[in-house]
Amino acid sequence: MNKSATYQVVFMDVLAPAVQRVIASVFGPPFETRFALNYDARHQTELCRAADFLVPGWAQLTGEMLEAAERVQAVHKWGIGVDRIDVQAARRLGIPVAITAGSNAGPVAELAITLMLAVYRRIYYVNREMRAGKWPKSEMRETCFQIHGKTIGLVGFGNIGRKLARRLAGFEPGAILYCDRYAAPAEVEHALGARRVELPELLSRSDIVSLHAPYDESTRHLIDASAIRRMKKGAVLINTARGELVDEAALASALKRGHLMGAGLDAFDPEPPDPGNPLLALDQVIVTPHAGGGVFDNVAPVAAHVLRNLQRFVAGESIAAQDLIVSENRRTP
């Protein structure tokens, strides 16, 4: 590590001033922070050219941007999903890519539960009705439900899925099922009260299906018309992962037909969704703007996670395997 060097750390997302201040307060010499003003491709590319380290969150990082980023030594995702980063270009250019594994798991798990409750208790509809001077108490009793006793199916059982299972325990669900390409250790399953099954069984048995899988070509439209037909009549779909996991047209059709009770969606394809997206017109759909990890009291911990990895990088130390997407085949600036 060159003790006299300074490093420009560019945060590619447009962040609120209060969030910028928290991040800047976590970082210090030899790191200097800079924040994007907008998502215009030309502006983002200029930021890339000036950066030693890039920190994209929702911002897209293309191969062309990486080609222009001749000083960049590493890319560090704010969060975990790398589907908006051209990982193949980074690998070709010798640019390491890291993530903040587990850093957003708690907030995302809490939002998933929030969406479950909001759908089950029809919060959007009832709130609107009351503000219009109505009193839908009797209607709520015949159309609302509780999580207690229900079977919850988790599609993906990494950090977020496991945090969610732990938080759900207090609601005393009837069962927690999960599907994942890798089985969790037996002691983890026992501690969380979760059992691994294949996706068709999970879909057919679950009252609530919550998505926590990464997006790649193998998971595109994982929840399509065929998958939805397998789901129980009156089931609820929650998506706090990636919009591409769900065939939105098939979901809208199932909701209109009454096959599904409702959906809680924090992710869309594309983002932001088209104003004419039929899902936005349905009372039984609760929507949030892909903000599962977007809580103010988690900004400093995530920033500290990024900082620790960048400190390791400039010191020539290894980054934890769970955080490393593209190996440290270091590029010489």
| Non-local CB neighbours of 219 within 8 Å, separated by 6+ positions | 213, 242, 244, 245
Parallel, antiparallel or unpaired: strands 260-265 and 285-287? parallel
SS3 154: strand
- Tens digits of per-residue pLDDT, 46-78? 999 999 999 999 999 999 999 999 999 999 999
Just list the catalytic residues.
Answer: 242, 271, 290
- Taken in order of first residue, the domains within the chain and their CATH numbers are 7-103+295-326 (3.40.50.720), 105-287 (3.40.50.720)
Q: What's the predicted TM-score (pTM) here? A: 0.93
Both tokens of 9, joined, read: 């750390």
Single-letter code of the amino acid located at 137: K
Q: How far is 53 from 145, CA to CA, in rounded Å?
A: 48
Q: How far is 102 from 95, CA to CA, in rounded Å?
A: 22
Element (H, E) at 42: helix 41-50
- Tens digits of per-residue pLDDT, 104-144? 999 999 999 999 999 999 999 999 999 999 999 999 999 99
